[in-house]
Amino acid sequence: MDCPLPISRYDKIVMGHGSGGTLSAALLRQVFLPAFSNDLLAKLEDQASVTVDATRIAFTIDSFVVRPLFFPGGDIGKLAIHGTVNDLAVGGATPKFIAGAFILEEGFPIADLDRIVASMKAACAEAGVQLVTGDTKVVERGKGDGVYITTAGIGVLRPGAALSVHAVKPGDRILVSGTLGDHGIAIMSTREGIEFETKLESDTAPLHGLAAAVMDAAPGLRCMRDPTRGGLSSTLNEIAAASKVGIEIAESALPIRPQVKAACEMLGLDPLYVANEGKLVAVVPADQADRALAAMKAHPRGRDAALIGKAVPEYPGMVVMTSKIGGSRVVTMLAGEQLPRIC
């Protein structure tokens, strides 16, 4: 990844360091990677693949600080389970076990905690995972924001699975499993008090089933990612940088709901940068693209799947979008903060 805004310009944390874009990447490269240098961390996948004895397992962690805690289509608890399940699933692993840690603010209503925990329970059941260990801490009023949840997860890697954002080759096709930006716009609309004629909900959902279907259909699958914080643009830029390929996408091919488009215009947002919490980006060899797309469309969570572009040998590390009117523009990574605390 490029770091166009070097961290040295900042001596204090700014909200943009949490954006999932270039500032987040800069913080990672300048502070965390040099310290914890090891091959596993340096791969920058959404999960680490480790071998314990002879078993290959995937291991991941994410903190969730979304606000509001409850939003159309979900809540922080559901998001925390789905996020961790999905980080395992996109790595080619079957999610198995979850650990959950809660940082509670003094004064937080226990009734709200009950709702969140019930939601996590249902999400675990749907994803076929067990929450097996946990922790709770309490901080004083004004030192938190209700509840922050951190979930870690373990999954079993499929035999032979070696998905990697470094594995993409020119000619490969880029698929997305459905409409873009639903989660981010559902959250922002709630915060801004925007109402739609038709209900817009977060797309938060577990992707293990869809991911398995894609793996079955396309044995040559290069990599999968869930385009969460930072949106599709961050995911594609990460793939382009890691695999040293260019990526071309067609604006006309992007599945976006009309109300998301409208809200983006109203809020001055670009749907390419808006978070998704139940969508899969998959990169497959060209000759397996049709089968992979068909497998997505046949799955309940992939009905709006689309082929949106391809990897090219030109301009390695860059993402270029051809617009509906024929022009083209570089899709850079989100620099700072567009939507803070979206997950």
Instruction: Identify residues 54-73 at the interface with its own copies (CB under 8 A).
Output: 54-55, 57, 59-65
Contact pattern from residue 91 through residue 130 relative to its own copies, giving x for each residue in contact according to CB under 8 A and a dash for the rest: -----xx-xxxxxxxxxxxxx-xx--xx-xx--x-----x
* 50 near its own copies, judged by CB under 8 A: yes
**Stretch 144-183: interaction string toward its own copies, x if CB under 8 A:** xx--x-x-x-x-x---------------------------
- Looking at residue 314, its amino acid is E
Query: Is residue 10 a contact residue for its own copies (CB under 8 A)?
Result: yes
SS3 172: coil
**DSSP β-ladder status, 223-225 and 147-157:** unpaired
Compare residues 76 and 249 and give the one whose CB is closer to its own copies: 76
Distance (Å, rounded) from C-alpha 154 to C-alpha 215? 19
Q: For residues 13 and 298, which CB has a smaller minimum distance to its own copies in the complex?
A: 13
User: Cβ neighbours of residue 9 under 8 Å, at least 6 residues apart?
Assistant: none
Q: Name the residue with tokens 């976006």.
A: 256
In a 3-state reduction of DSSP, which class is residue 76?
A: helix
Residues from 221 through 240 that contact its own copies (CB under 8 A): none
Task: Output the smallest distance, CB 14 to its own copies, in A.
Answer: 6
Chain centroid to CA 38: how far? 23
Query: Closest distance between its own copies and the C-beta of residue 239, in Å?
Result: 18
Q: Find the binder of its own copies among 21, 22, 47, 306 (CB under 8 A).
A: 47
Using the CB atoms, write b or e for 169-188: b if 16+ within 10 Å.
ebebbbbbbbbbbbbbbbbb
267 lies in the binding site for its own copies (CB under 8 A): no
